[in-house]
Chains A and B, each alone.
Chain A
Amino acid sequence: MKILIPIKRVNDYNVKVRPNQTNTDVDLSNVKMAMNPFCEIAVEEAIRLKEAGKAEEIVVVTIGDDKHQEQLRTALALGADRALLVKTDNVLQPLDIAKTLAKVFEKESADLIIMGKVGIDGDNNQTGQMFAALTNLPQVTFASEVEINGNSVHVTREIDGGLETLTAEMPAVITTDLRLNEPRYASLPNIMKAKRKPLEELSLEELGINIETKITTLKVESPPERQEGVKVETVDQLVDKLRNEAKVI
């Protein structure tokens, strides 16, 4: 079985991102970048399937400029076998990302596509579902447990109100939720080894992708600041404030 893992380079999740001075975009100039946490979980899940003898090959793919090689190398150091970089200086929106990945899938094929449920930058939560639609594959989103059963996959999903289990025939698309697993760290020898693993470059042109900017960002602002609150000394004061000042109880 072959697993394809699309990953994304985003801001480190601990960094608070701010608008730039002209309020036209976010300011990422001095922000530490990393692999999207949900993508790390996708990579980890694939490695576990390989370690369990269920998968033979793990291919990671991302779309972006040369700097995106860093995140591909990270995935290789964690245990992916090969990497693909679809090179572009443009920043793609989810539909174009899904179209590009669909072309990569046509070239590479795979039995399972595992990707993060959401990028912590755009907060869109779309790419996996769109990719599944474009490739006409079944989708199982927000996975917290994945079990391979012969030619199908059993997936427990996190939904509002609890959990749901679906089954899907492979090839299938799975998007990961946080509780699927605890990603490992890459060891130094593996980081060294990852440098010799194959990293192939592709272009949007050779995949036949024309980027269409369907959504333009007009403005990026900070959310309205909350007024600094007050500290109360006792529970009595708190109850009094809630009753008589805020009038919320």
Chain B
Amino acid sequence: MKTLVIAEHNGENLSAATLSVVDAAKKLGRDIDLLVASNSASNVLKEAKAVEGVSTVLDFSDEKFANEIAEDLAACIVSVRENYDFFLASSSTSGKNNLPRAAALLDIQQISEVTEIIDDKTFKKPIYAGSCIATVQSSQEKNALTIRTTSFEKTGASGGSAKIETKDVPDTVSRKSGFVKNELTVSDRPELTAADIIVSGGRGMQNGENFALLEAVATKLNAAVGASRAAVDSGFVPNDYQVGQTGKSVAPNLYIAVGISGAIQHLAGMKDSKTIVAINKDEEAPIFKVADYGLVADLFEALPDLESKL
């Protein structure tokens, strides 16, 4: 039996998350196939073929994959179920949306947000916003896992030479949902979940304009900009900046938390960062309990100072 990894892409490039999922898949000790559902995404297929460790790329091509609809993707996964005893996707919004639908159709109890693969039946995953780590064992013949990408390395993006297998696209004309539009945040910074350094702002930033102070520091460090839920709810920055239990999980080399108190829900998304810096004027703020370096200071003085010294 083999492992099927559901590839993520934006129509042009394979996402870095997919490389982490392939790394996780390697720990299961089976041949790895990559499922690519796309509309004529020749470059995605080229990149998929080159991923180190992948045997076969399953190419599902159809206009309907221009936008990803869970019903369509789940049908693709189900159509190739016989050859696989593992189905893996990243725990991005895409993987979270699609894989449980496929798992239910295959009568599989999925395991979400896997952070460690102990053996092919035993896995670790955080529960209760990361307050506890559960070790779970599956008695199922087939398993579906979403992978917390920050807990795994990225497998090589080149050097592989998988063969491409063209698959028949399942008919889902009767599906009852459809794409209308998307509004994506345009940014020239590194992607939040893939960045080496992240500078995040919280309620202490006071407004959206003040995020310019953070961005100036981020520019010097080639860092991504993140935010706490408070900053997002107050409308300072868009939702997809949010780090935490309900936002993105990140684990960069350096995480600089500015004006963030450090609620459990925020810590859930960043406490596996290698080095954590907190800048906060409240010296009692819980963020200092997890920070390697804490600076008790007014961020409006500290940020420009920091920028000038980098």
Contacts and interface: CB of A to CB of B under 8 A. Distances in A.
Nearest to B125: A123
B103 A229 contact: no
Interface string B133-165: 111111110000000000000000000000000
Interface string A35-51: 00000000000000000
Considering residues B97, B98, B289, B295, which has the most beta carbons from chain A within 10 angstroms of its beta carbon?
B97
B129 interface: yes
B136 A215 contact: yes
Interface in A107-131: 118, 120-127, 129-131
A192 interface: no
B110 interface: yes
Interface string A211-248: 00111111111110011111111111011011000101
B93 to A, nearest CB: 5
B21 to A, nearest CB: 14
B133 A221 contact: yes
A161 B97 contact: no
A168 B239 contact: no
B239 A144 contact: yes
Interface residues of A, number: 82
A105 B132 CA distance: 34
A189 interface: no
B104 A248 contact: no
A220 B103 contact: no
A175 to B, nearest CB: 9
A94 interface: yes
B294 A120 contact: no
B291 A133 contact: no
B233 A179 contact: yes
Contacts, number: 259
A94 B265 contact: no
Given A18-B131, A120-B245, A158-B240, A218 B136 contact: yes
Nearest to A230: B293
Given A129-B100, A168-B177, A222-B133, A123 B112 contact: yes
A215 B137 contact: yes
A100 B197 CA distance: 44
B251 interface: no
A161 B240 contact: yes
Contacts of A168: 176-178
A248 B305 contact: no
Given A129-B100, A235-B306, A242-B293, A137 B176 contact: yes
B135 A217 contact: yes
Interface stretch (A9-17, A53-61, A75-83, A199-207): A9-17
B288 to A, nearest CB: 7
A248 to B, nearest CB: 4
B295 A248 contact: no
B290 A226 contact: yes
A194 B21 CA distance: 48
Interface string A163-192: 111111100100001110000000000000
Contacts of A162: 182-185, 238-240
Q: Which 7 A-B pairs have the closest CB atoms?
A: A138-B177, A130-B104, A129-B100, A133-B104, A162-B184, A168-B177, A126-B100
20 contacts: A18-B131, A120-B245, A121-B127, A124-B112, A126-B112, A133-B102, A133-B105, A141-B96, A144-B239, A160-B92, A160-B248, A162-B183, A167-B178, A178-B246, A215-B111, A222-B132, A232-B293, A234-B295, A235-B305, A238-B306
Interface of B: 67, 69-71, 74, 92-94, 96-105, 107-113, 122, 125-140, 175-185, 193, 197, 221, 229, 232-233, 238-240, 245-246, 248, 253-254, 264-265, 271, 274-277, 283, 288-297, 302, 305-306, 309-310
Given A133-B104, A227-B292, A239-B306, 12 more contacts: A123-B113, A124-B112, A162-B240, A177-B246, A214-B108, A218-B122, A219-B135, A229-B291, A232-B295, A246-B254, A248-B253, A249-B221
